[in-house]
Homo-oligomer: A and B are copies of this chain.
Amino acid sequence: MAASPSLILSRRDLDFLLFEWLDVTGLLDRPRFAEHSRHTFAAVLDLAEELATERFAPHNKKADATEPRIAPDGTVVLIEEIGQALQAFAKTGLMAATFDEQHGGMQLPTSVAKAVLAWFQAANVGTSAYPFLTMANANCLIEHGSAEQVATWVEPMLAGRFFGTMALSEPQAGSSLADITTRAEPQPDGTYRLFGNKMWISGGDHELSENIVHLVLAKVPGGPSGVKGISMFVVPKILLTDSGQLGERNDVVLAGLNHKMGYRATTNTLLNFGEGVHRPAGSPGAVGYLVGELHHGLSYMFSMMNEARIGVGLGATALGYTGYLHALDYARTRVQGRSVAGAGPVAIIEHPDVRRMLLAAKSYVEGALALGLYCAALVDEQATATSVLAREEAGLLLQVLTPIAKAWPSQWCLAANDLAIQIHGGYGYTRDYDVEQFYRDNRLNPIHEGTNGIQALDLLGRKVPMAGGAGLRLLLERVGRTIERATAGGDREDGGYAGYAAELQVAVDRIARTTATLLTCGDTALMLSNATAYLEAVGHTVIAWLWLDQVLSAGSESGAFYEGKRAAARYFYAWELPSVHAKLDLLDRLDRTLLDTPPEAC
């Protein structure tokens, strides 16, 4: 490891969150993780930091400056460092970090694995997208595909020979999957032929792997309309021969690369299926293999989507985090201006407004990391907790937290990246520094995997009412437990935790009341029209809870690291939590502004 602290992520914070706060070593008693130890967890974290630092971070700027392009022969040209980094990544076996041993996996807890993988997202989000998509694809196939499909497609993916994609959106259907028109025509041999266009497909074409495995949503003619008629298909770029060798080119072709504001190392593509450019076995149509049952495609995709959404939140967090660390380093070394008392010139961290920006960024990125790892720990709990109740509760909490875990970091860690630019002043606006790229990369996250507006509808329209409100109730109970601990601990001289607990209790009580008001208002359109205000109010309250929980966990430990945790919590309670009340006021009065305003007045 480097002598000076990394500017990619904070290993100290990861260790705190995993070992001191979440106590992941408690998982070692469970059979799935029995082969592991605190030592193996640490070794994988070490490996990730080293590989991210040495192979991913160094080409992050170059990949941004050297956008993917299509060569005259139709292939995609990327800088060679991307492929080299990914081969090194594949060799470590990290592609299968959380997978079963039977698939060659490490059986790492998801909580540890997400911390491990965050190093790559923070070091180079564009390059890391390829294995991340591949892991999600493999996960989905293991869960819903046949044994043969797993053997055929998953094993080469986990070995890094094939990469995977998720192909949902179409040019006319992004957020609205009900309107997809790609069709899959059944063939006599049990396969399908697909015809249609897919838009925004990340990793949709490249020469980084021997093959690309697309998981494609399409409709079989004659099926139910809307989302109920969607099925999922494996559509490889290159078909395999009966003996499993690379064979004929499938009829799926790159129709264009999207030129993006950021995230440029990741190709983002328009793909044409079944336009007859290639004619497998002599006829047009992209050969596809049904995954699971007909018409269940959307639910399969969503089982993957929930984890993907937490992954997006963690990716946003990683980008925000590295931006914060860069800004902190700059603020400590850049000398400029005087203190109010006239001393100076001083390092800019001496200026209270620079500290405001740093503390805001710190409270966002460390709060978001806590949320992401908490959700990852819930995935572990859902899969391996010893009691049925604990597994069910973890599942419920995960459901209700997923839209927050996607939207909150993608809003506020982006804000952290914006603050990192501001802290750098004019230098932050130039490409000589790194922070403007982090901002541009992170700007994708509020958009993809369901825009933040969609997350708000998911939270208030689906997750909160589900199971008679059990998910939200459980969440507020968990918050209540933290409040109890904080209250029992009394107040500290420095302004302390009983005070935070009281403020958090007010927010929690209000959320419970406001939720009841909304759910009983009798007008779904009105209720949902302000869903974003609801998501933001609940999101800030959840992060305030996690900050209180973190400082309780820090106890009375001394030293800069723990003082930093306490300072960020103090900032969040002073500057951020109070903002929820204006939003709850708006929700309480069932504000009709958005619903009433006609389009012509917008």
In the complex this chain forms, how many copies of it are found? 2
Choose from B340, B447, B602 the contact partner of A428 (Cβ within 8 Å).
Answer: B447
A164-189, CB < 8 A from B = 169, 172-176, 178-179
A532 contacts B by Cβ under 8 Å? yes
- Inter-chain contact A601/B563, CB cutoff 8 Å: yes
Contact mask A338-363 → B, CB, 8 Å, 1/0? 11110001010111111111110010
Contact mask A496-512 → B, CB, 8 Å, 1/0? 00000000000000000
- Inter-chain contact B174/A336, CB cutoff 8 Å: yes
Q: Which of A213-221, A376-384, A438-446, A541-549 contacts B (4 or more CB under 8 A)?
A: A438-446
CB distance from A530 to the nearest CB of B (A): 8
- Inter-chain contact B593/A353, CB cutoff 8 Å: no
A591 contacts across to B, CB distance below 8 A: 574-575
Q: Which of A143-151, A239-247, A479-487, A577-585 contacts B (4 or more CB under 8 A)?
A: A577-585
Most chain B CB within a 10 A radius of its CB, from A425, A429, A578, A602: A602
A370-405, CB < 8 A from B = none
Choose from B200, B429, B594 the contact partner of A426 (Cβ within 8 Å).
Answer: B200
Most chain B CB within a 10 A radius of its CB, from A262, A429, A446, A532: A429
Q: Kindly state the separation between the CA atoms of A173 and B426 in the bound complex, as whole angstroms.
A: 11
A393-444, CB < 8 A from B = 418, 421-422, 425-426, 428-432, 436, 439-440, 443-444
Contact mask A244-269 → B, CB, 8 Å, 1/0? 00000000000000111110000000
- Inter-chain contact A259/B599, CB cutoff 8 Å: no
- Inter-chain contact A567/B447, CB cutoff 8 Å: no
- Inter-chain contact A352/B529, CB cutoff 8 Å: yes
- Inter-chain contact B525/A340, CB cutoff 8 Å: yes
Choose from B176, B560, B600 the contact partner of A563 (Cβ within 8 Å).
Answer: B600
A262 contacts across to B, CB distance below 8 A: 429
CB distance from A323 to the nearest CB of B (A): 13
- Inter-chain contact B593/A176, CB cutoff 8 Å: no
CB distance from A580 to the nearest CB of B (A): 9
- Inter-chain contact A429/B260, CB cutoff 8 Å: yes
A172 contacts across to B, CB distance below 8 A: 335-336
Q: Kindly state the separation between the CA atoms of A591 and B359 in the bound complex, as whole angstroms.
A: 14
Q: Which residue of B lies closest to A576 (CB)?
A: B582
A349 contacts across to B, CB distance below 8 A: 599, 602
Q: Kindly state the separation between the CA atoms of A174 and B571 in the bound complex, as whole angstroms.
A: 28
A528 contacts B by Cβ under 8 Å? yes
- Inter-chain contact A586/B602, CB cutoff 8 Å: no
Q: Which of A32-40, A274-282, A297-305, A448-456 contacts B (4 or more CB under 8 A)?
A: A448-456
A602 contacts across to B, CB distance below 8 A: 328, 331, 349, 355, 358-359, 362, 564, 567
Q: Kindly state the separation between the CA atoms of A594 and B586 in the bound complex, as whole angstroms.
A: 30
A595 contacts B by Cβ under 8 Å? yes
Choose from B258, B362, B452 the contact partner of A430 (Cβ within 8 Å).
Answer: B258
Contact (A174, B426) CB under 8 Å given A259-B431, A349-B599, A600-B560: yes
Q: Which 6 A-B pairs have the closest CB atoms?
A: A352-B529, A578-B582, A353-B453, A352-B594, A567-B601, A563-B601
| 12 A-B interface contacts by CB (under 8 A) | A259-B432, A260-B429, A261-B440, A331-B599, A352-B529, A352-B594, A353-B529, A359-B593, A359-B597, A359-B602, A422-B447, A578-B586
Extra contacts besides A339-B525, A578-B582 (12): CB < 8 Å: A260-B431, A261-B430, A331-B602, A340-B525, A352-B528, A352-B530, A352-B594, A359-B602, A428-B447, A563-B598, A564-B602, A566-B601
